[in-house]
Amino acid sequence: MSIVFVPKKLRGKATVNQETIQRLLDENDQLIRCITEYMQKGRAVECVQYQQILHRNIVYLATIADATVFPEDRQIYTEHTHKEYLMKAKLQQRF
């Protein structure tokens, strides 16, 4: 759930674990199926509430993913940034 929807006194209190993430992914799967069914029946108005919940869940999962840095990702990022820095330095030397 997006932090926007969480009261200030509860922010930062939730523990994120694999079970929570899987539950959200399962819920998203069900929401997508429900949205698809309603759309096929021409009931787009009913989809809006499900789309909003799906959006909230996706934003929350993306926030978790952005905040999660694995050691190997950090190393790849550092190596990429260093190579980019060296390339820029070489280009500046030419001019």
pLDDT tens-digit series, residues 24-77: 999 999 999 999 999 999 998 989 999 999 999 999 999 888 877 666 655 555
* 67 contacts: CB under 8 Å, gap ≥ 6: none
The CA-based dihedral angle spanning residues 22, 28, 29, 31, taken in that order and rounded to the nearest 10 degrees: 150
Bigger pLDDT: 72 or 22? 22
What does the pLDDT read at residue 2?
Answer: 45
**Among the listed residues 67, 90, 80, the one whose alpha carbon sits nearest the alpha carbon of residue 12:** 67
Query: Is the pTM of the predicted complex or chain greater than 0.85?
Result: no
